[in-house]
Amino acid sequence: MQKEILIAGFGGQGILFAGQVLAYAAMDAGKVVTWIPSYGPEMRGGTANCTVVIADEEIGSPWVLHPMAVIAMNLPSFNKYEPLVQPRGALVVNQNMVDRPARRTDLTTVFIPGNEIAEEIGDRRLLNMVMLGSLLAVFPVLRLDEVKAALQAHLPEKHKRLLAQNVAALERGYAQAAGITVP
């Protein structure tokens, strides 16, 4: 059994790093994991993204056509991946960058004001951790404390001063999504 998470948006929204944090947390939890940036079949059409596959056994394809969970940081990603999420999957959308409601009714879709929350905490670059926190609330592939521990353990030394803010962003995103009643 494996779980696939695709994180998509514009370059500069911290997409690759959000995926790496998830991959580190999966590794530390003893899982098998692959992280791969936009570099394959999913490149057929536009947005920047990375795919993280987490499993208990040897992973086959590092890419999937229909991921179980998607974080869409902007409108092009929302448009592209909403139709591709597996039925009953999870979709976390950055509300501040989209202008339409969800079309699928068979998904757990949450709209998170990611940019607003990141700026409230003090840095718009925390968007990726806010959205990752929200994902964990609706798609519990790993526990929030496992991801927080991975940040603590693997954040490069020169960025350690940013740890508290990043953890706060994860927690705020998680709380925001957990507080939304989902169907």
Partner 1 sequence: MPKELWKGNEAIAEAAVRAGLQAYFGYPITPQSEILEYLARRMPELGRAFVQAESELGAINMVYGAACTGARVMTSSSSPGISLMMEGISYIAGTEVPAVIVNVMRGGPGLGNIAPSQADYNQAVHGGGHGDYPRIVLAPASVQEAIDLTALAFDLAETYRMICMLILDGSLGQMMEPAEMPEMKPIVQREFDWAVTGAMNRPRRILSSIYIDPVAEEVVNFRLAKRWQEVQVREVRYKEYYLDDAEIVVVGFGTAGRIALSAVRAARAEGISVGLLRPVTVSPYPYSVIEELAKHVQGFLVTEMNMGQMFDDVRLAVQGRAPVEFYGRPGGVVPFPDEILAEIRRLASGQWSPDPDARLSWQKRMASVIQR
* Residue 24 makes contact with partner 1 by CB under 8 A: yes
* 62, 74, 178 from 175: Cα distances, Å: 30, 21, 5
Selected binder of partner 1 within 8, 48, 64, 169 (CB under 8 A)? 64
Of 38-46, 96-104, 116-124, 160-168, which segment contacts partner 1 by CB under 8 A? 38-46
Q: What's the closest the beta carbon of residue 84 comes to partner 1, in angstroms?
A: 11
* Residue 27 makes contact with partner 1 by CB under 8 A: yes
Of residues 101 through 160, those in contact with partner 1 by CB under 8 A are 154
| Of the candidates 118, 174, 124, 176, the residue with the CA atom closest to the CA atom of residue 145 | 174
By C-beta, is 26 or 137 nearer to partner 1? 26
- How many residues bind partner 1 (CB under 8 A)? The answer is 24
Selected binder of partner 1 within 11, 12, 39, 164 (CB under 8 A)? 39
Of 34-42, 99-107, 132-140, 170-178, which segment contacts partner 1 by CB under 8 A? 34-42
Residues 6+ apart with CB under 8 A from 110: 90, 91, 92, 93, 134, 137, 138, 177, 180, 182
Beta strands 32-37 and 2-9: pairing type?
unpaired
Q: What is the CA radius of gyration of the chain?
A: 15
Residues 6+ apart with CB under 8 A from 161: none
DSSP bridge pairs for 91: 70, 109
* Residue 41 makes contact with partner 1 by CB under 8 A: yes
Contact residues: partner 1, CB under 8 A: 20, 23-24, 27, 32-37, 39-41, 43, 58-66, 154
